[in-house]
Amino acid sequence: MQTLFFKNTLYSLLVIILFVGNTNAQNSTPAEDEATVKVSVTSMDGKPRKNDEITFVSSKKGKSQTIVTNADGKSVLFLKKGDKYDVYYNNLNEKEMVQQFEIPESKGKYTLSLTLKYDPPRTITLKNVFFDTGKATLRAESFVALNELVDALKLKSTMVVEIAGHTDNVGSIASNKLLSEQRAVSVKNYLIKKGINGNRIIAKGYGDSEPVSYNDSEEGKQQNRRTEVRIISE
């Protein structure tokens, strides 16, 4: 019987919005149609999450603003009054929506305090990373996703990750393990070429030993042929 290998990739979120009133962001002033939003980001146990990217996307115009938290897990931005925003956390090479909130249409200057608490997943499956069939050669369409990963790792300058390669069950156990290792090394080498210190990257192949789906269909095999980023330390 085939055993599927599932990882907990869920995180928790808590949002608190408080009206503070008559307070401006430091060293800057919002326009009359803008509210000041003070953002605080922590882990679920209250530790500040520094260098986290949080993106706010307007539901009215689709425009986005991205902030990066400081060492205290804080940042400030100005958002249009009377608009609703989707809030996204940058999860290495993709954005995860975590909340929606609305800026009231109120006159005068005021401040909202937004507190986000979450523990991101420690394992992320890289989307849109492809190899030539049966080889460890990265295809050109993978570069966009890998460049996004590079940017995230540069922002998270102390993060250490494992690049984990996985295959389906076609072929021998030995050949699948070797191929998965070679693919993980290819990703590592790409990241190094783009400026990430190799000491921050571990490359490891797991072959077909950790399937996330059954190998009895092409769809299942495709899900099992994947490359993961596992966060070792931040």
- The answer on 144 and 112 residing in a single domain is no
- The answer on 142 and 105 residing in a single domain is no
Residue 7: inside a domain, yes or no?
Answer: no
Given a contact cutoff of 8 angstroms between Cβ atoms, the answer to whether 167 and 175 are in contact is no
- The answer on 56 and 146 residing in a single domain is no
Residue 169: inside a domain, yes or no?
Answer: yes
First to last CA, the chain: 37
Residue 149: inside a domain, yes or no?
Answer: yes
Q: Name the domain boundary from 55, 84, 117.
A: 117
- The answer on 153 and 71 residing in a single domain is no
- pLDDT tens per residue across span 25-61: 445 789 999 999 999 999 999 999 999 999 999 999 8
Residue 1: inside a domain, yes or no?
Answer: no
Q: Name the domain boundary from 62, 91, 117.
A: 117
Number of domains in the chain: 2
Mean pLDDT, consecutive 10-residue stretches, the chain (234 aa), reads 50 43 55 94 94 94 94 96 94 84 90 92 93 93 96 95 96 96 98 98 97 93 95 94
Residue 34: inside a domain, yes or no?
Answer: yes
Given a contact cutoff of 8 angstroms between Cβ atoms, the answer to whether 23 and 129 are in contact is no
- pLDDT tens per residue across span 193-212: 999 999 999 999 999 999 99
Residue 75: inside a domain, yes or no?
Answer: yes
- The answer on 137 and 66 residing in a single domain is no
Q: How far apart are CA 104 and CA 203, in angstroms?
A: 48
- The answer on 182 and 99 residing in a single domain is no
What Cα–Cα distance (Å) separates residue 99 from each residue in 69, 86, 112, 114?
17, 6, 15, 11
For residue 217, the domain's CATH number is 3.30.1330.60
Given a contact cutoff of 8 angstroms between Cβ atoms, the answer to whether 179 and 186 are in contact is no
- The answer on 40 and 59 residing in a single domain is yes
Residue 6: inside a domain, yes or no?
Answer: no
pLDDT of residue 137: 96
- The answer on 224 and 128 residing in a single domain is yes
- The answer on 109 and 208 residing in a single domain is no
pLDDT of residue 228: 97
- The answer on 56 and 91 residing in a single domain is yes
- The answer on 172 and 105 residing in a single domain is no
Residue 146: inside a domain, yes or no?
Answer: yes
pLDDT of residue 5: 55
For residue 22, the domain's CATH number is 2.60.40.10
Domain of residue 110 covers 14-117
Q: Model's pTM, two decimal places? A: 0.84
pLDDT of residue 4: 52
pLDDT of residue 2: 57
Q: Name the domain boundary from 53, 88, 117.
A: 117
